[in-house]
Structure 1
Amino acid sequence: MAWRDAKASSIRLLLFMASIILGIAAVVSIQLFSTNLRDNIQRQSKTLMGADYRIDTRQIPTERAKAIIDSLQPDASEINFVSMIAFPKNGGSKLVKVRGIEGGFPFYGMINTQPGTAAGIYQESGGALVDATLLLQFDIKPGDSIKIGEITLPIAGALKSIPGSSAFSSSVAPPVVIPLQYIEATKLIQFGSRREYLYYYKTSASLDLKVLEDTIDPLLDIENADLDTHISTSRRLGRRYENVGKFLNLAAFIALLLGCIGIASSVHIYIKEKLKAIAILKCMGASRLQSFLIFLIQISGIGIIGGIIGSLIGVGLQELFPFLLKDFLPFPVEITISFQPIFIGIFLGFFMSVLFALLPLLRTWYVSPLAVLRIDNQLSKEPKKVRFLVFTTILVFLFLFSLWLIKDTVYALIFVAATIVTFAILGGVALFVIKMIRKFFPKRWGFTKRQSLLNLFRPNNQTVVLIVAIGLGTFLISTLYFTKDILLSKTAIGQTSATSNIIVLDVQTEQRDAVAQNIEEKNLPVINNIPLVTMRMHSINGRLVNELRQDTTRQIRGWILQHEFRTTYRDTLIASEELIEGVWTSAQKSGDPVVISISDNLASDANVTVGDPITFNVQGVLMKTTVGSIRKVDWGQLQLNFSIVFPKGVLEQAPQFNVLTTNVSDAESSAKLQRDLVANFPNVTVIDLRQVYTLVEDILEKVSWIINFMAFFSILTGIIVLIGSVRTSKYQRIKESVLLRTLGAKNKQILEISAFEYLFLGFLGSFVGILLALISSACLAVFVFKESFVPSIIPFIVFLPGITLLVVSIGLSNIQTVLRSSPLEVLRREG
């Protein structure tokens, strides 16, 4: 019976199935990609590091740290830093990451070069391996030379890849690999220079790396060093991409949720029309269970087939994600097909179809045989206890499923609560509108307009379902669009003459005036001349840092205890800062205690507040200070921000270096300035924020593409739901339209009635959806991104009319049968 009835209603059931396919496809494709990413990270963890474990420190190793490093007998070592290099052939210059390597690194994976022999001979030949893209950019070939600080080396080969590098990190500072023995000769490592010392180890498989890490790492932490195993590195790398996976999972879940709404709304109307037939079956002896199972089998079949089709589409789609995320991954992702996500997709198709269709399905259980004789349109109602139980089951499932996706109980509860609130608002608006139309019905309006408004609250109306479906789809796409604008605005760099877009780092005190003069000679302004003083914390609230490191019960974050702070001194706040606690001290008076200002995140991590004492070790000199104020710092702005700021009159005589900033109007001026600075001051580092901003924009474009891609899934599923919901109402509307034609209505009048009805539904649903998106985006801007919210007009001028016209088009397509045929012919066919 289920098969026979399904064949007779095949078109409608296909629409139900389409509602679930896209959501399943999104979930399966993302789950498969997440599984592949995790497996690739685990499989390539040694290749990613190039060794079994390593020790790293951002300062010259202390005697105790060096003793530990030497006792473990490193197989290779490295010193790396970021600096400017020059190509004597054409005068080009570029910010790069210089890696001085000694020994047989990497022990796993390989250094990929062109020619292939360059990786094996560069240390003996004294050559440099230079990023291949960089060589193309400056039209340089192996055999040419590269100037690094005070030395010039031949280029042994083009560097295509090396363990530990990703496309993104290479685009910011391309790698240049040289023999370690030449690092000192470059004379680029001076006071204040940022550098990293790395020691690589290859060990036997019998060594327990976790025991080694647990034993040695605490000892190294005290010496401001760190031990990393390939296992811990792969765990951190997995967490790095966790948030991306969480976002994609939630987007897919929203698409799946929309599909379930489509199932629920479509089955609601479908079963509604079958109640007479079910009553007849019961009169002929069919039991409650038999009539229930007929339609349960249908819906289960829809869910299983939809799950299989969606899973197959998802298998194909997951090939797309490695391409989209390749610049964020330090290795190519090998795609393999695992059956777990496919099984989950099929299970979800079945389970969610049945769960969300359960409420209308239960009406087949409670329909009375006497319904055959009744001529009213009253539905058989299931008991309130049953309805409550079904709704509770749906909410519990939503919570458990979202918890499985995002692994956070609070976020899962918030997500489910937000879903309920959104549905409640959309449903409430629909019911309120129905009530208002009934109460204030425009009786003097023309016939067609009155008839279209009557359709909004007559039996078998789709007002609530359509407004919820239209509103939710519009809400999702509009929220994503507004959020993208917020993210882009956070990285906006105003291109004005007062805004710095060139930063010159590591300027020594004796070079400061000469660098400033070099900038000014090119008719460029010196916007900032910022002094930097490096220091470490010696004690916090009277407790020594060395003592705190040993205290496992401390409430201070570990990075505070080993971090080398770069601080400055000035007498004013800057645009990216806001005083939130205490009093700002601009200058230090002689004899008064030193009062500093710290950022809010530092205050939280160090567990200090206004009035607490902190003692710093400034290049071997202890300095007692007191927290005088706490600042809120916008770290998202591409400019120099500081965790710790001293007043003027304290650090002027301390060992320091400077950062100068300027503004250039075009790429040619920037290139000329960088060439001159690198030639005259090889130790300085020049950061062109225009290039950094371009990279940030490129990343955001890719993230936006992914967001829009998943939004496309959600909205396409919403459109399928919309089509299914509107098309389902076709059968009721056809009968009404045929009766109107029988009574003498013209085609134009029937078109107007349908057009006005769907115009109203489409406009109201999309308008409410955009308003909700506006509210949610404003909350995101204020409470999450801490940004002012300037809404885009695009959703109002594109989404609002576009979705409205789509609804009207689908609605008008429903009655084409009526307009093309005679009333009697349509009545016979539909009957």
Structure 2
Amino acid sequence: MMFTMAWRMLRRELQAGELRLLFVALLIAVAAVSAVGFLADRVGRALELEARQMLGADLVVVADQPLSDAFVEEAHRLGLRTARTMIFPSMVFADGRAQLVEIKAVSSEYPLRGQLRTAPGLDAADVAVDGGPAAKTAWGDERLFSSLDLKPSMPLGVGQLHLPVTALLTREPDRSLNLFSVAPRLLMHIDDVPASGLIQFGARVRYRLLLAGPDQALADWRGWVETRLDRGQRLEGIENARPEIRNALDKAQRFLGLATLLTVILSAIAVALAARRYMQRHLDACAVLRCLGTTQGRLLRLHALSFLIMALLAAVLGALLGFAAHFVLVSAMAGLVTADLPLPGAGPALEGALVAGVLLFGFAMPPLLQLARVPTLRVLRRELGPPAPLAVIGYVVGFLLLCGLIVRAAGDLRLGGLAVAGFSAALALFWLLAWLSVRLAGRLRGGAGFGWRQGLATLARHGTANTLKIVALGIGLMALLLLGVTRLELVDAWQKSVPVDAPNRFVINIQPEQRQAVADWLAARQIAAELAPMVRARLLRINDRAVSAADFPDDDRAQRLVEREFNLSWRAELPTGNEVVDGRWFSGKPGEASVEVGLAQTLGVTLGDRLVFSVAGMEKNVTVTSLRKLDWDSMRVNFFVLTPPGVLDDAPASYITSFHLPAEKRAAAGQMVEAFPNLTVIDIDAILAQIQSVVGQVVGAVQFVFLFTLAAGAVVLYAAFLSAIDERRFELAVMRALGARREQLRAALLVELAAIGGLAGLIAALGAAGVGQLLARQVFQIEPAFSLTSPLLAAAGCAVATTFAGWLGMRRLLGVPPLEALRQGA
């Protein structure tokens, strides 16, 4: 019986429009949360379902140096199957054109899990194949075929070899997700690597040993090998398959999750406003029901059940809308996620339902408590009963639940706490700016016409309500401006900060015996370049303290730095683009070293510290005598650690250089690779273009999520307008009764609405510009120019949009006869 009554009441209220806005607010919040949730769930399921395929094995050892044969021997003793792979960048060439590729050399047993798929050429159907390419052949992926216009069996220059490309690689199991890959893939047989001459001293190679077999044998081998792993070696199993992908996706999910919380916060405000208006418009009806014998408890249960049904409807429809919207996110990130994603589970829909429940319980229940406590005497005196004591508690509980959602979306208590503090500070700052703007605007009436004076006077008279409108609309608009206009301005400022003749090519793997030949080759083509020596070393100790990743439990960057090998070099003079910020440049004393200031801060290195490096089995002791600031935007060759000549001269070294290659000399890159096949020429322009494409896709996905934020802001704005309609109806009726013409009142309303939109747009644009300036200086280290164009355009555009939307909602007030409005307000 109660359910039937609640359903009928809900249907009647939705048809009449009393609860329509509250329902839309819930719908937007659920759709935003579930859309991001469905995307994350599908990618997460792909990682779980294809964990072994993503490894290409059951267990993998990854290292930056060749692995001991003892690892393979012990695996075979335990009955495990093994395979080897090597991954490294290099240049390949065909018909005079060169291309940077990521070469993956595999043994005959690869892959141990999953299957490779190949096609005879572009636009041809692919098939599953057993094993990788045969010796003396190679396979290329679609990007390689397209960039070099390859044809089947066409020879490809790979170092000192010419390998026919016999197939187009369409799928490799341990490359299912293609995140931030900037080079095409070339697959070749591992036995061909020595003859290619590509692996020289200084080459960066990832060595992988793949294992597969019974779980017990794997466990025994893992226990045996864990005590024998050196620095730079790690194990990957199905529980942590492709950690770099998981980390990247976790960060993206957290960012999108925090972005959706802006939508949830604004939706919470809209729910609170809509519920309060619903309460105000139904006090009389509830008072009549109380007079007819309905108890407070029954009245509360009736409305609570009605709202619960509405929340369930919003959860279901919002989940469906989010499911449809998540395909847009998948499409926007198509270049990042290329795996066949399985269908998502019900988790995101349940999470959306949880959000609807939090918003309903925390921000709609307090006004319902007032409805249940309405005094029967209101039928005669039409007085609002005192606020229910539990109402304030309800709002506090709602705020705490909202904070819980933020922490959950952040995935970390510390990050969540910072997000809560950041959101709270941003809301407080926006509120202060909006309130001051409203007060200031109210004083700018001057001697203009009636519409101008009355519009600004009304803006100031309803300062609290109008401040809320400005804040809600400003937050949503700021998010879009920050990712839209400001992003483009930051990219433009960064591009302008890079010199026109900045190096756009890096060359690595230059061997000592090639140094003079390469220098002469470049000089003959009038290409200015300095060949710098480079020594690979691993940091062992800082003073007498051994260094390990465990020393930096909360700093991922520091852990990566101490686990990898450093690139050291030597110089007699301070390189161009380097500035000593602490200490002094080399004075000629033995064992001096200069450290980049950012690296020193990350690892806790200070002046006077002794650093011990392992260089090709030798220990090198140096003392930090200076800290340097580098101009990374110069695109020159830079090193974290420099020593004077004589310290590293006896260490095996390779050479590296960078230079600017004009467009008319672009063919020189291919000619260099043909002359020196072991060299790797890195096209910075191409890599930056690829990274910008990746960033553009991510930003496009986030901007799509922020459309929900803007929609929620519009709902808050409309809810605030509706909450003021009854009061404005009475005010306008009084003014019309006193002689004001309809045209004058229309002008006043339009001025008020335009002022709200203009102030919201101006505050949003200034906020986006401020955050953009902070990001530019603190993150990108550039000095962007501040322009008034964006704030003015945003203010004008928002003023027009707000005026139009607000006028649609409030124009009917001018059509109400004055006498009827006065009677309704009496």
TM-score normalised to the size of structure 1? Answer: 0.87
Answer with 23-32 or 680-689: which moved more: 23-32
Say yes or no: does 1:85 pair with 2:92: yes
Give the Cα separation in 2 of the matches to 1:347 and 1:622: 58
Give the Cα separation in 1 of the matches to 2:415 and 2:806: 38
**2:49 maps to what in 1?**
43
Of the candidates 261, 274, 277, which is equivalent to residue 282 of structure 2?
Answer: 274
Cα gap change, 1:357/1:150 in structure 2, threshold over 3 Å: closer, same or farther? same
**2:405 maps to what in 1?**
401
Of the candidates 800, 809, 819, which is equivalent to residue 804 of structure 2?
Answer: 809
Does the aligned pair in 2 maintain the 1:482–1:792 contact within 8 Å? no
Cα deviation, residue 106, structure 1: 0.8
Give the Cα separation in 2 of the matches to 1:553 and 1:429: 40
**1:34 maps to what in 2?**
40
Cα gap change, 1:159/1:371 in structure 2, threshold over 3 Å: closer, same or farther? same
Say yes or no: does 1:241 pair with 2:249: yes
Give the Cα separation in 1 of the matches to 2:174 and 2:246: 14
Cα deviation, residue 94, structure 1: 1.1
Q: Matched residue of 2:228: which SS? A: helix
Cα deviation, residue 698, structure 1: 0.5
**2:163 maps to what in 1?**
153
Cα gap change, 1:409/1:572 in structure 2, threshold over 3 Å: closer, same or farther? farther
**2:534 maps to what in 1?**
532
Of the candidates 487, 499, 502, which is equivalent to residue 502 of structure 2?
Answer: 499
Does the aligned pair in 2 maintain the 1:482–1:777 contact within 8 Å? no
Give the Cα separation in 2 of the matches to 1:84 and 1:583: 41
Cα deviation, residue 752, structure 1: 0.7
**2:616 maps to what in 1?**
619
Give the Cα separation in 1 of the matches to 2:701 and 2:449: 48
The 5-angstrom pairing of residues 476-491 of structure 1 reads: 476-481=479-484, 484-485=487-488, 488=491
Cα deviation, residue 649, structure 1: 4.7
Give the Cα separation in 2 of the matches to 1:553 and 1:460: 50
Answer with 758-767 or 792-801: which moved more: 792-801
Say yes or no: does 1:346 pair with 2:353: yes
Does the aligned pair in 2 maintain the 1:83–1:685 contact within 8 Å? yes
Q: Matched residue of 2:459: which SS? A: coil
Cα gap change, 1:351/1:80 in structure 2, threshold over 3 Å: closer, same or farther? closer
Of the candidates 107, 113, 128, which is equivalent to residue 138 of structure 2?
Answer: 128
Does the aligned pair in 2 maintain the 1:75–1:103 contact within 8 Å? no
The 5-angstrom pairing of residues 748-787 of structure 1 reads: 748-783=743-778, 787=782
Give the Cα separation in 1 of the matches to 2:460 and 2:294: 34
Unaligned runs of 5+ in 2: 121-125
Equivalent residue letter for 2:371: T
Give the Cα separation in 2 of the matches to 1:795 and 1:553: 43
Residue by residue, what CA displacement relative to the aligned partner does 1:685-716 show, whole Å, maximum 9, x if unpaired?
A: 10111101110111111111012111111112
Cα deviation, residue 119, structure 1: 5.0
Give the Cα separation in 1 of the matches to 2:753 and 2:24: 22
Residue by residue, what CA displacement relative to the aligned partner does 1:294-348 show, whole Å, maximum 9, x if unpaired?
A: 5444443433322221111112222333333333336322223x22322232232
Does the aligned pair in 2 maintain the 1:497–1:663 contact within 8 Å? no
Equivalent residue letter for 1:217: E
Cα gap change, 1:305/1:649 in structure 2, threshold over 3 Å: closer, same or farther? same
Does the aligned pair in 1 maintain the 2:202–2:654 contact within 8 Å? yes
The 5-angstrom pairing of residues 257-656 of structure 1 reads: 257-329=265-337, 331-336=339-344, 338-374=345-381, 380-382=385-387, 386=390, 388-429=392-433, 431-432=435-436, 446-456=449-459, 462-481=465-484, 484-485=487-488, 488=491, 492=495, 496-526=499-529, 528-537=530-539, 539-542=541-544, 563-571=564-572, 579-580=580-581, 582-586=582-586, 589=588, 592-600=589-597, 602-603=599-600, 606-631=603-628, 640-652=637-649, 654-656=651-653
Give the Cα separation in 1 of the matches to 2:554 and 2:145: 50
Does the aligned pair in 2 maintain the 1:818–1:826 contact within 8 Å? no
Q: Matched residue of 1:251: which SS? A: helix
Of the candidates 13, 18, 23, which is equivalent to residue 29 of structure 2?
Answer: 23
Give the Cα separation in 1 of the matches to 2:310 and 2:579: 58
Give the Cα separation in 2 of the matches to 1:732 and 1:421: 31
Residue by residue, what CA displacement relative to the aligned partner does 1:547-589 show, whole Å, maximum 9, x if unpaired?
A: x799999999665665332211235556775655x41424x52
Cα gap change, 1:789/1:282 in structure 2, threshold over 3 Å: closer, same or farther? farther
Q: Matched residue of 1:75: which SS? A: strand
Q: Matched residue of 1:194: which SS? A: coil
Does the aligned pair in 1 maintain the 2:504–2:658 contact within 8 Å? yes
> Percent identity among equivalent residues?
23
Cα deviation, residue 143, structure 1: 1.9
**1:665 maps to what in 2?**
662
Residue by residue, what CA displacement relative to the aligned partner does 1:273-305 show, whole Å, maximum 9, x if unpaired?
A: 333444444445444334444544444343332
Equivalent residue letter for 1:15: L
Q: CA RMSD in A?
A: 3.7
Give the Cα separation in 1 of the matches to 2:825 and 2:309: 25
Does the aligned pair in 2 maintain the 1:81–1:97 contact within 8 Å? yes
Give the Cα separation in 1 of the matches to 2:206 and 2:616: 19
Cα gap change, 1:784/1:534 in structure 2, threshold over 3 Å: closer, same or farther? closer
Does the aligned pair in 1 maintain the 2:118–2:169 contact within 8 Å? yes
The 5-angstrom pairing of residues 670-819 of structure 1 reads: 670=666, 672-783=667-778, 787-788=782-783, 790-791=785-786, 793=788, 795-817=790-812
Give the Cα separation in 1 of the matches to 2:524 and 2:621: 42
**1:162 maps to what in 2?**
172
**1:219 maps to what in 2?**
228
Say yes or no: does 1:111 pair with 2:111: no
Residue by residue, what CA displacement relative to the aligned partner does 1:430-480 show, whole Å, maximum 9, x if unpaired?
A: 555666678x69596654344334433657983233223223223333343
Does the aligned pair in 1 maintain the 2:180–2:694 contact within 8 Å? no
Does the aligned pair in 1 maintain the 2:110–2:132 contact within 8 Å? no
Equivalent residue letter for 1:583: G
Q: Matched residue of 1:190: which SS? A: coil
Of the candidates 10, 13, 19, which is equivalent to residue 13 of structure 1?
Answer: 19
Give the Cα separation in 1 of the matches to 2:559 and 2:178: 28
Q: Matched residue of 2:174: which SS? A: coil
TM-score normalised to the size of structure 2? Answer: 0.88
**2:123 maps to what in 1?**
none
Residue by residue, what CA displacement relative to the aligned partner does 1:779-830 show, whole Å, maximum 9, x if unpaired?
A: 4445555554545656413322122112211232234435567667888999
Equivalent residue letter for 1:425: L
Cα deviation, residue 750, structure 1: 1.9
Give the Cα separation in 2 of the matches to 1:508 and 1:169: 32
Cα deviation, residue 397, structure 1: 0.7
Give the Cα separation in 2 of the matches to 1:558 and 1:455: 59
Residue by residue, what CA displacement relative to the aligned partner does 1:501-556 show, whole Å, maximum 9, x if unpaired?
A: 01111112232233233233334332x322212233454424677xx799999999
Of the candidates 54, 59, 73, which is equivalent to residue 53 of structure 1?
Answer: 59
Cα gap change, 1:647/1:380 in structure 2, threshold over 3 Å: closer, same or farther? farther
Q: State the aligned residue count.
A: 813
Unaligned runs of 5+ in 1: none
Cα deviation, residue 741, structure 1: 4.1
Answer with 460-469 or 470-479: which moved more: 460-469
Give the Cα separation in 2 of the matches to 1:555 and 1:728: 49
